[in-house]
Amino acid sequence: MDVQRRTEPSRIVAVPIEHPTVPHVDAIVEVPDAAWASVVLLHGAGGSATHPWMEGAARGLVGEGVAVLRASFPNAQAGKRQPERAPSAIATWHAVMAAARDLLPHEPWAGGKSFGGRMAAAAIAEGMPAAGLLYLGYPLHAPGKPERVRDEHLQGIRLRQRFLQGTNDPFQSGDLLDRLVERLPDGRVDWVTGGDHSLLIAGGDRDSERVAEALGPRIAALLRWSSRTAPRPHQ
């Protein structure tokens, strides 16, 4: 039986950041009734907090009882599409997570789509506290360049690290991610069969907002997945 959850109306909070031209980023906060976990979501390169994929992912998580705060990096906040430089992205993560502790009901997970997740790991490697890391399509390497793996921060992180990854993602090749996850202190991956970097499946629904929302139960299962007690998520 579906459970209808009441949700506080979304609110937008200006989070001050250290940036030469963008004084703050907008945080969109959604807290369902009786939330059991909290997640901060930042977007991928060229996206924003209001990208349809991010809208859908947030709605899917809220429907599963997870409180969500999503925010944009400064370039996206200013309406620019170019990717954020790493130092600015990492500083934004620190500022947004600090604000999230006052805005969300639990110690938040740091969650990111692609670049957003990679920068979350870099911020945590610098000491940013979090309940764990949630990667929604991790960019393990640039397409066609599996010899240059981007795992420099991940192996030193002692927190829970959870990956939702498409089997057809060009930013991951073969068993590279599986082998990385095996080396992590507490890493788990749930593979979306046929999924690309946005977890869309060829021949399936191409509406990124609907697809991301439908992934809510799988993402929530990853958050619940304890290394000791929880069942393995869907394959």
Taking residues 88-95, what's their average pLDDT? 98
Domains and CATH numbers, the chain: 11-224 (3.40.50.1820)
Taking residues 64-85, what's their average pLDDT? 96
> In this prediction, what percent of the chain has a pLDDT beyond 70?
92
Sheet hosting strand 66-71, strand order edge to edge: 11-16, 24-30, 66-71, 37-42, 109-113, 132-136, 160-166, 187-192
Q: Is 99 exposed, middle or buried (0-12, 13-18, 19+ CB in 10 A)?
A: buried
What gap in Å lies between CA 45 and CA 191, rounded to an integer? Answer: 22
Q: What is the pLDDT of residues 128-184, one digit of tens each?
A: 999 999 999 999 999 999 999 999 889 999 999 999 999 999 999 999 999 999 999
Structure tokens at 11: 């609110």
Q: What is the dihedral of CA 92, 99, 117, 212, to 10 degrees?
A: -120
Identity of the highest mean pLDDT range in 1-10, 107-116, 145-154: 107-116
**What does the buried/exposed string (b/e) look like for 152-168 if buried means 16 or more CB atoms within 10 Å of the residue's CB?**
ebbeebebbbbbbbbeb
Q: How far is CA 175 from CA 26, 66, 140, 156, 191, in A?
A: 38, 31, 11, 20, 11
What is the pLDDT confidence band of residue 5, given thresholds at 50, 70 and 90? low
What gap in Å lies between CA 221 and CA 203, rounded to an integer? Answer: 26
